[in-house]
Amino acid sequence: MSNEIELIKDPGLPAHVHRRADDDEKYAKRAETQVSILFLLSAFGTVLTIVSYVFIPTDKFIFIPVMGETNAEQLLLGLGMAIALFCIGAGAIHWAKTLMPDNEVIAERHEFRSEDEDRAEFVKTVKAGASAAGLGRRPLIKRSLGLALGLSGLTPLLLLRDLGPLPKENLQKTSWKAGTRLVTDPGDRPIKPADLEVGAVAQTLPELAPGEERTLNNIGKDAVLLIRLRPEDFNLDAERLSWTHEGIIAFSKICSHMGCAVALYEQQTKHLLCPCHQSTFDVTRAAKVIFGPAARPLPQLAITVDADGYLVAKQPFTEPVGPSFWERSS
């Protein structure tokens, strides 16, 4: 045998295999019937859609296993549409596969690359055009045009300025002030320490001055969680301990990671968990992060009681609440 390596050869396009419908009119006829049945089924689907739209009341619910209580009209409208559309598609494809010619065809590819002369022509044309305009010879025009175009790009940027106000102190401050009462959310009722049992959690907001409206923007910064533990459960330094009242501790409910509401409290472990990214905070240690991506504890709100015995903030938050931002200093 020779040492020359001989590769396996391309046998070329295989001969066309006839389908039954190609040779036998009986099968062709059968395929025709099948295609027509599919198209007729589609027509039935549209009729079903129309009937459901007209005759089924909008508030009619039916029980269907697996799906549960289901709106009958929406379901039948959808099923009608599905049948109508699917069967048109199935019919067309069945038609193509059984009755249309299935001979494979060979087409040659063309080369994308332009001929060398064309490329050269192109370069020449561009050069001629540029020199006719005098782009190279008149630098003053070129430069001033560049300046004008560059500057005109500033206008849209400038016009976007009024999209919003500057942040200023907005991210740094909340509505909490010394003496602001904590009220329940929802309900807006002031809270006495006795309202909270050990182990209880309450979602609170600052009390509104008369005539004041609460916006979502306020809630987004002011939401505070109250949690009552036994005082001996705390593991806090003296200052932070003085921010609690009879075992009640208050934290910003807005996650220090990405601002979700930190709403899951595990009574047994005394952990607060953010459902978005599972940052976990230890309530007994001033919401220290013990797991997850958050890098800072939840800010603690110092609380005490006022003359009437209601819980109030002792002072504003000592740091910005919510997710970090560039201007945040700690």
Partner 1 sequence: MTARERIAGNVAGYVDDRTGAAKWMKKNLTKVFPDHWSFLLGEICLYSFIILLASGTFLTFWFDPSQREVIYDGGYQPLSGLKMSAAYASTLHLSFEVRGGLLMRQIHHWAALIFMVGIVVHLLRVYFTGAFRKPREFNWIIGVGLLTLGIVEGFLGYSLPDDLLSGTGIRIAEAIIQALPVVGSYIAFFAFGGAFPGEAFIPRIYTVHVLLLPGIFLALITVHLMLVWYQKHTQFPGPGRTEKNVVGYPLMPIYMAKAGGFFFIVFGVTAFLGAVASINPIWLYGPYTPGQISAGSQPDWYMGWLDGLVRMSPPIETHAFGHTISWNILIPGLILPGIMFTLLALYPFIESWATGDKREHHLLDRPRNAPNRTALGAMALTFTLVGLLNGGNDIIATTFHLTINQMMWFSRIGIVVLPPIAFVITKRLCLSLQRADRELVLHGRETGRLVRLPHGEFVEVHEPLSPEKAWTLTAHEQLAPLELPEFDGAGVRRAGAIKNKIRNRISRATAVAVPKATESERRELEGHH
Residues in 130-159 at the binding interface with partner 1, rule: CB under 8 A? none
User: What torsion, rounded to 10 degrees, do the Cα atoms 40, 42, 48, 51 define?
Assistant: -80
Of 70-78, 121-129, 187-195, 309-317, the window that binds partner 1 (rule: CB under 8 A) is 70-78
| List of residues 6+ apart from 291 with CB closer than 8 A | 278, 279, 280
The distance between the two most distant Cα atoms of the chain, rounded to a whole number of Å, is 110
The closest of 276, 275, 229 to 251, measured between CA atoms, is: 229
CB of 231 to partner 1, least distance (A): 27
- Asked if 248 and 193 touch (Cβ cutoff 8 Å), the reply is yes
- Asked if 91 and 38 touch (Cβ cutoff 8 Å), the reply is yes
Q: Does 107 bind partner 1 (CB under 8 A)?
A: yes
Q: Does 6 bind partner 1 (CB under 8 A)?
A: yes
Of 21-29, 74-82, 190-198, 235-243, the window that binds partner 1 (rule: CB under 8 A) is 74-82
CB of 230 to partner 1, least distance (A): 26
In the block, tokens 């009755």 appear at 99
In the block, tokens 């009220």 appear at 183
- Preceding amide of 275 cis, omega within 30: no
Instruction: Please report how the helices 72-98 and 25-55 are oriented relative to each other, as an axis angle in degrees rounded to 10.
Output: 160
Of 69-77, 124-132, 192-200, 241-249, the window that binds partner 1 (rule: CB under 8 A) is 69-77
Q: Does 25 bind partner 1 (CB under 8 A)?
A: no
Q: Does 292 bind partner 1 (CB under 8 A)?
A: yes
Alpha helices, DSSP H only, in 227-319? 238-242
Q: Based on CB atoms, which residue is closest to partner 1, 20 or 97?
A: 97
Q: Based on CB atoms, which residue is closest to partner 1, 198 or 263?
A: 263
Q: Does 164 bind partner 1 (CB under 8 A)?
A: yes
Distance CA 94, CA 88 (A): 10
Q: Based on CB atoms, which residue is closest to partner 1, 96 or 135?
A: 96
- Asked if 243 and 258 touch (Cβ cutoff 8 Å), the reply is no
CB of 327 to partner 1, least distance (A): 6
By CB under 8 A, name the one of 23, 47, 78, 119 that touches partner 1.
Answer: 78
- How many Cβ atoms sit within 10 Å of the Cβ of residue 245? 19
Of 128-136, 191-199, 227-235, 316-324, the window that binds partner 1 (rule: CB under 8 A) is 316-324
Of 145-153, 187-195, 233-241, 274-282, the window that binds partner 1 (rule: CB under 8 A) is 274-282
CB of 288 to partner 1, least distance (A): 11
- Preceding amide of 14 cis, omega within 30: no
CB of 281 to partner 1, least distance (A): 11
DSSP per-residue string spanning 175-194: S--TTPBEEETTT--B--GG
By CB under 8 A, name the one of 31, 253, 300, 303 that touches partner 1.
Answer: 253
Q: Please, which of residues 190-249 interact with partner 1 by CB under 8 A?
A: 203, 205, 216-217, 219-221, 223
Q: Does 93 bind partner 1 (CB under 8 A)?
A: yes
